[in-house]
Structure formats: C-alpha cells, structure tokens
Structure 1
Amino acid sequence: MNRRQFIHIASAGAASLIMTRLPAIGSAPANAIDLARWIQPVPERAIFREPGYHVWCGTMVRGRDGRCHLYYSRWRASEGFFAWVTHSEVAHAVADDPFGPYLPVDVALPPRGPDFWDGHCTHNPAVMESGGRYYLYYMGNRGDRRPTKGLNFTHRNNQRIGVAVADSPDGPWRRFDKPLIDTTDGFHDALCCANPSVTRRPDGSFLMIYKAVAKQRALPFGGPVTHVVATSRDPAGPFTKIDAPVFTKTDVDFPAEDPCIWLQENKYMAVVKDMKGFFTGAGRSLALMESADGIEWNPAQNTLVSKTEYTTTAGVRVSLHALERPQVWLHHGEPAVLFCAASIDKQPGGGETFNVAIPLHRPPPK
C-alpha cells in the first residue's frame, strides 16, 4: 500500500508523525481540460495599476454585497522592485465586475511593527470564503528593511505563512501572533515558506499547497525549492504537513512556484509558474497540474496554460517579461478569471508592474 508521512505542527518546534493514506476523489473525465483554449482577449478595464506603486499578486472574492474584492500586493515604486520582500503590504480594491475597473479603498494587512512575525511585509495574498467568513492567506516577514539590489535575505529567510480572518471582505481583518505555517527543522521548509494556496476538499476539510525552501544548499539562498501539501479540518488551521514534495523535477532545484489550486470535475487542479519550461517545454510559462487526491501531482495532459503574453480585445499581442502569481477565480465551480501579476520590463530596472484579469471561457468540444 502506498503510504505518506504526515507531520502535524501544533506549535513552532512541536511535531508528531502519522502514517496514513488519503483516498482519491474520483476518476478523470474523458475530455482533458485545456486552459490555454479557455483564454480570451483581455479588455483594458481588466488591467489594474496604482500610480506610484508596484502592483503584484492579485486575488479576488465576491462578497455577499455582490461586489468584487481584490486583494493585492503593493509597495512604493520609488523603493525599487526588490522592495517587495521588505516593504510590501496587502491592499484592497473593489469593483462591480470581476474584470474591473477596480478602485483602491484601503490596506487590508498593513505593517504592524518589528515585534510581530509579519510586522514589516505582507505579500502573496490568496483569499477564500468559507462558512460565511473570509480567510486571507499570505506571506509575512520582518527584518532590517535595508534596500538591496537583489533579495534582502534577512527578510526573505524570515518568510512565514499566515492567515487573517474577517466576517466581511471589507474587514476588519484579525491577524495572529504566530504563523499559520512555520518552519520545521530538517524538513523541506526548514529555511522559509511562502506562496500559500488553499481549497476546500469534498469531505469539508481543507488542502493547502505552499512553497518551501530547505537548508540543503548553500546559504543564504538555500534550497532545494519545492512545494509542500498540508491539510486541516478548519480553514484557520492547524495544518498537518505531508512529507511528499510536489511539482518537483529530477535534478532541478527550483522548477516551479506560485501554485493556485482548486477542485474541478473530480480532480484537483493547479496552475503554477514554470520557471524555465521544465514542464511545458515553452520556457518561462504557466503550467497546469492535476491530482486525484491532492497529494500526488503530475503535469496535466494539456500542460501549457500560457506563455508570458496576453492578447487585448483590440487584437494586440502584449509580450511580457513576467506573467506569474496565477490565481483562478471560479464561477459556479468553473474557472472564469485567471488573475496574474505582470511586468513588461526585466527587473531590476524600474519598469511597470500591474495585475491582469484574463477572461476564461470553456470552448466547445473539438
């Protein structure tokens, strides 16, 4: 019998081992999903910018009021692109339509000081509604806040995963004194962790996948960079880590990042950033993964979702340096919008960054 090792983290440094197996939720449908064929032209109102800021990491939920609430990462453009790791904050914008136009209204997760684990930086938002409450998962960190030409590792290596909870998408958001996912010595996330994505499972429990960095490679970068699956009975945790890294590639230390997971047609699906085309063969791109149980993942039959580009409703092809941080919004259980962070110019070097809401529509069968 195939078995997986589970690690339950009750608090930082406390762990117990459980051996178990999770059941598959169903068989694959005859017609494989091809998200590349679902992608539609992008209207101008679906491009979200905020003057004076770098904008990144868009995730959206529709509230009970019918409005669309976008949570996104932002930091002042004057601080440089790599200030995402030192000065990012999760802001909030609203619209009447999933494609916008969005109006910034407030900051959902502002800095709260060096005494807190997430006191200097909040980033990587992923929002979910469950049981009438709203859960905003994110990466938080703290450090020396010094500007650097690349990653500031006092902040990067303090990355942990948190969740904020609210009764309304307008907040207020209740944050916690400890991370939801902390590092575990000797585990795949021994150095740091980020990029959480969560979906509800058929039995009412919750599945998370997050980016994990180990300490097996030279510091300060560390590595390899993999992804860990974790499960919980409650969206606010605690989560049980599973010792079975996913989205891996033989002899590659950093094949993917930025997972977004959801449940569709009796399968778990994920869009990930393929760092160099390890899965799609198309260079830096977005790749589609699938799983029967949420634990064992493989490239989908139609792996390529998108290259680093999009096409406008005017028929203009926009070539990008980066198209990443994918977040899929479901309408009646089916992908309807692919939110992505985008940049036209290579970083560092200033340049424009923005969020784009790419329409998705199931095409007729071939």
Structure 2
Amino acid sequence: MHIALGKLPMTARFADDSLSIWCGSLIKGDDGLFHMFYSTWPKRMGWAWVTHSVIKHAVSSSPFGPFAFRDVVLPVRGAQFWDGLCTHNPTIHRFGEKYYLYYMGNTGDGINPNTEDLAVEKLNFVHRNNQRIGVAVADSPDGPWTRFDKPIIDVAADSTAADALVVTNPAIVQRPDGTFLMIYKAVGKKRPLPFGGPVVHLAATSESPTGPFVKHDGEIFTVHGVDFPAEDPYVWFQNNQYFALLKSMRDSAGANNPSLVLYNSPDGITWRRCDKSPVSDRTIQWQDGRSQTFLHLERPQLLFEGDTPYVLVCAADTLDVHGVRQTFSVQIPILVSVPK
C-alpha cells in the first residue's frame, strides 16, 4: 500500500486562540455529523499536556471542518482516580452498536513546571510515569460516557518488563475473527529514572473491546541501537493484512527528523516497513497553493469510507513571533494506492 496526501481545504485546521489543541480523532455518527475527540489545555500554561489535558468533543458537517466545540467528554474527576487529573491521546472507534473512546489517563500532584518558564519544556514525571490506558463507552458520540475505575492496560508487575514504568498511546483494531488487537507505547525501567526506557511498542489481544487484554511478548517497530524509535501508531485491517501509520523519530540516515511512515503485518504482531520514503515529512499543501512545514506532525488518526481511509487527522504546531507554541488539528485528504 502507498499513501499520498492531498491538498487541505482552508477550513481543515481546528484551533483555538486560548487553548492548545492536540491529537484529534474523528468518527461519523448516525446523525450524519463528524465528531472529533481531542485533547486540550490552557495555552497560557505552555506544554502542559501531561498534567492538564482533558478530552473534549467538537462537531462538523464535514470532516474538513469547520468544527464547533460541543462538550467536555473526560473531565478532571479527582486525584484519587487513576485517570483523575489528566486525559489525553483519544482514539475513537465504533464496534457493534457502541462507541469506544480509548485514551491515556494519569494522576499525580497537578503541578505544571512550565507555568513559570514557558520557553523551557519540562515534564512532570509524577504524571508522566503514572500514564495508563483506559476506555470510555457510550451509545452515541454525544454520550453519556461510562468511565471505569481501573485501566484496561496497566504496567507490568515485573520490574524488568518492557512496560514496567509507563503504558500509553493506545491503538486498536478489530480482527477478522471478531477479537481485538491493541498496539501501545510502553516505557521500561532498564534506563535511569525518572525517564526510564527504552521506549517501545507492544501488542495485546482481547475477546472484548474492553478487555481483559493478554499481552504478547516481543517489541515492535524497533530500530537497532535506538532507545525511542517511534510513537503514535494508528492500526487498521485492509486487503487481508494489517497496516500501521506511525511517527518515526529518525530518518533513514539516523538523524532526529521525525516523519510519518507506514508499516504492514500479516498478523498484527510481526511488522515491516512498507516504503523507504515517508508518507509525510511534516510538510503539507493547502488548496490556496501554500506549502507549510510544521514543527511536529504526529498522532495520526484515520477516518474511513467503507474499508478505505480517506482523511488523515494529525496534531500539528508552529511557533508564533513571540516563540509561543501554537497547536491545532489538521484534517488532510489522503490518496491510497493498493497494489494487486
């Protein structure tokens, strides 16, 4: 399979003057509207995703916008809950008659170290290292959403496991036999704390979209000698094989030059890269003829027509004249070529 990006309509940028917007995910409802689930937090706080992100919901009559805010889906609910202070990384799916919103949640001390120094991006490692994977369930994209008291993917009890410190960034697909495959990002404890590492991807399977999930041995999307090779996979099944669109952290020469790349797999467990060339090098084309290169173009999510993806949703950002990061969602038309 080869994926090429089309030109973006001028409406295909979802932004807010006072809020940082990140990692949108789209689905079409029975009401004919397109429902976007996205992460957001006050822009004045800087890069506060790990402490102050909440997941919200916006709607549009077109996948290319404009989108209008509708409601807060997964708000703060108290530090005593595993996902009580932060919800992030939404990916929305419909299985059967219900909607499933998978996400990362965490808790901690609620302190954002960026508040006093927006020029320096700092992590709150209490929150970062409490990242876990959960799901909320509803009969409609408009909710109400049922949250659970425990994550569906938790860290391993074995301190030597690849996911002993952090589990996050869920991606899920229903397999042809009706069961479910989840691919997720994980951080181990083999490198010095608090960052830990390596940062890897693992697979888990379940009979149900809400688990329990059985973890599989073996890391995927690996690059020899690289501790953090990739993140943000989106996984789907098409033409009797699995595909994953993800963010590669390094280019073919090994330089730190993130891009979006495509992998495929016969079973969802063993993966190989499809093309040497990336799907995107963070540059997009607008319909008015402008070309724009973002600092980041990541957290890819797809919208399908039948079995074929036709919209790529990504988180993107730029710096304004004051050096403040401006973040938003872009909805990119995609062209798909499937070899016979």
How would you bin the TM-score normalised by the shorter chain?
over 0.9
Which residue among 180, 195, 202 is the counterpart of 1:206? 180
Match of 1:171 in 2: 143
Question: For structure 2, which runs of at least 5 residues remain unmatched after alignment?
Answer: 114-120
Contact 1:288 1:303 in 2 (8 A): no
**Correspondence for 1:160 among 132, 156, 171:** 132
CA distance in 1, matches of 2:132, 2:141: 23
| Alignment match, 1:77 | 43
- Tell me which residue corresponds to 2:16: 50
Q: 1:280 to 1:217 in 2, by over 3 A?
A: closer
- Are the equivalent residues in 2 in contact too, given 1:280–1:303 (CA < 8 A)? no
Matched, 1:308 2:276: no
- Using the TM superposition, give the Cα deviation of residue 51 of structure 1 relative to its aligned residue in structure 2, in angstroms: 2.4
Distance 2:46 2:35 in 1: 27
Offset of 1:244 from its aligned partner? 1.1
Is 1:117 the counterpart of 2:116? The answer is: no
What SS does the aligned partner of 1:85 have?
helix
Partners in 2 of 1:364 and 1:200 — Cα distance? 21
Q: Deviation string for 1:336-358 (max 9, x for gaps)?
A: 01100001139x95221000000
For the residue of structure 2 that corresponds to 1:154, the secondary structure is helix
In 1, distance between residues paired with 2:264 and 2:316?
24
Aligned length: 329
Amino acid at match of 1:286: L
- Indicate the residue corresponding to 1:29 in structure 2: none
Determine the C-alpha separation between the residues in 1 that align with 2:82 and 2:247. 27
- Segments of structure 1 that go 5 or more residues without pairing to the other structure are 1-32
State the Cα distance separating 1:301 from its structure 2 match. Answer: 3.2
Superposed CA RMSD in Å reads 1.8
SS of the equivalent of 2:172 reads: strand
d(CA) in 1 for partners of 2:304, 2:179:
19
State the one-letter code of the partner of 1:73: S
Aligned counterparts of 1:165 and 1:309: Cα–Cα separation in 2: 35
**Residue 271 (structure 1) aligned with residue 239 (structure 2):** no
Aligned equivalent of 1:97, options 62, 83, 87: 62
Q: What corresponds to 1:151 in structure 2?
A: 123
Cα distance in structure 2, aligned partners of 1:275 and 1:68 = 31
Cα distance, 1:111–1:270 mapped onto 2, change above 3 Å: same
Q: Quick one: distance in 1 between partners of 2:223 and 2:337?
A: 31
Identity of aligned residues (%): 50
Distance across 2 between alignment mates of 1:128 and 1:280: 34
Determine the structure 1 residue equivalent to 2:316.
Answer: 342
Q: Does 1:34 align with 2:8?
A: no
Aligned partner of 1:323 in structure 2 is 297
Q: Which residue of 2 aligns with 1:254?
A: 228
How far apart, in 2, do the equivalents of 1:166 and 1:207 lie? 20
Per-residue CA deviation, residues 149-182 of structure 1 (Å, 9 max, x unaligned), is: 4111000000000000001100111000001100
Contact kept in structure 1, 2:10 and 2:288, CA below 8 Å: no
Deviation at 1:320, TM superposition (A): 0.9
Q: Equivalents in 1 of 2:253, 2:73: separation in Å?
A: 35
- The question of whether the paired residues in 1 share the 8 Å contact of 2:2 and 2:337 is answered with no
- Deviation beyond 3 Å, 4+ runs, structure 1: 278-282, 362-365
Structure 1's 63 and 302: CA in aligned 2 closer, same or farther, altered over 3 A?
farther
Deviates more, 1:145-154 or 1:161-170: 145-154
Alignment-derived partner of residue 220 in structure 1: 194
SS in 2 for 1:362: strand
Match of 1:192 in 2: 166
Give the distance between the partners of 2:126 and 2:217, measured in 1 at CA.
Answer: 27
1:106 and 2:71 aligned? yes
- The code of the aligned residue for 1:339 comes to V
Q: What does residue 33 of structure 2 align with?
A: 67
How far does the alpha carbon of each residue in 1:312-332 deviate from its partner, in whole angstroms, 9 at most, with x for none? 001110011100000111111
Write the distance in 2 (CA, Å) between the matches of 1:58 and 1:364: 26
- The 2-side partners of 1:280 and 1:192 are apart by 25
State the one-letter code of the partner of 2:215: K
| 8 Å Cα contact 1:249-1:278 kept in structure 2 | no
Q: Kindly provide the amino acid, as one letter, of the partner of residue 342 in structure 1.
A: A
